[in-house]
Amino acid sequence: MDKKDLRQRNLQMLREALRKLRQASKPRLAEETGLSVVTVNSLMNLLLEKNEAEPVVEATSTGGRPARQYRFRGERRLAIACYMYAENNKDMMVVFVVNLLGEIVEQKEVYPEAVTKEIFPAALQPLLKKYPQTALVVVGMPGNEINGSLDVVNYQALKGMPFSRWLSAELNRPVHFTNDIHAAVAGSGSLFGKTVVDEVVVGVYWAGDSPPEAGIFLKGKLYMGRDGIAGELGHRFQKEWQPPKDAVREAVRVIVLMIRTWNPHGMILYNEKLRMEDLPRILELCGREIPARFLPTVVIRPDIREDYGQGVYALAGKYLEEIQELEK
């Protein structure tokens, strides 16, 4: 590693330490990173120049000169995110603003009378005016954006439109689209922890008479496929679709299919008719088709909404970090 690379590595260590601690003195940062105070002092000047950090009021001290404290400027870049779902047969939009520290700065709920393209700039533009440092927008809703157009979507007024491209032009910001199952798998860290980052995790969601959809996470990255239809399990593009009569049998079918195609380490099944007490029977039936040693860790979640919202939040933070990486 040459001097330039070493300096960049040390700068990243300092950045991450300050972000973790939120506020700290140079001696405390030296202790956290293992760098010398002299090195921390030099690198802190770079963070100050980049407006990534700023000095704060000096901390109190029991004696001698108090140590100067520095804080990570989490509000320097923001992301605005929103996601759609139905509650009690009524459409709902949750909108929030998140900073570089992962803190939610503001959140609100919107209940549109009808879901049309106009509701998105109407809900988001006031926040962009309030927070001009917003770097990007994330939108979650049931459906898929395939080759730049909403091809499979629960809201007919939006079907076929180049949603992300159109909204990006309206807001003058990059727009990232995600659907409910993709976001839910992204938000499944509380279920699988480090496995989401290191291995393969698949989430499968089906509700009512709708065919199942899958979200595929390969080592921390959402896999969409060439055209954005990876995980559709084929049924969305078949003229004939018969809703399953038995949720347990359908769970077995999708688990076996995903084992044969993706060989995942973990799977999450989102279906309102399933409960964790169904899991032994599901795994027993899977074992009749697939040797037990190939079965993944399986979690059943009757409601997708919690993981869906958490995933939109996680993706907003991830895209925000990627923008910061490009600025270094």
Whether 139 and 195 map to the same domain: the answer is no
Q: What is the three-class DSSP state of 221?
A: strand
Whether 80 and 68 map to the same domain: the answer is no
Neighbours of 212 (CB within 10 A): 24
Strands, E assignment, the chain: 23-25, 53-55, 69-72, 78-87, 90-99, 104-110, 134-140, 143-146, 149-153, 175-178, 200-205, 213-218, 221-223, 266-270, 297-301
As for how many domains the chain has, the answer is 3
> How do residues 135-192 score in pLDDT, each as one tens digit?
999 999 988 888 888 886 788 899 999 999 999 999 999 999 999 999 998 887 656 6
**55 domain residue, yes or no:** yes
Least confident of 45-49, 201-205, 226-230, 243-247: 226-230
Contact between 48 and 54 (Cβ < 8 Å): yes
pLDDT at 321: 82
Distances (CA, A) of 134 to 100, 124, 145, 253: 11, 11, 23, 43
Range of the domain at 211: 183-305
CA neighbor of 268 nearest in space, from 225, 217, 321: 217
CATH number of residue 127's parent domain: 3.30.420.40
Contact between 168 and 175 (Cβ < 8 Å): yes
Q: What is the three-class DSSP state of 53?
A: strand
Tokens of 251: 């769970």
Whether 146 and 207 map to the same domain: the answer is no
Whether 130 and 221 map to the same domain: the answer is no
d(CA 210, CA 152): 12
pTM of the model: 0.84
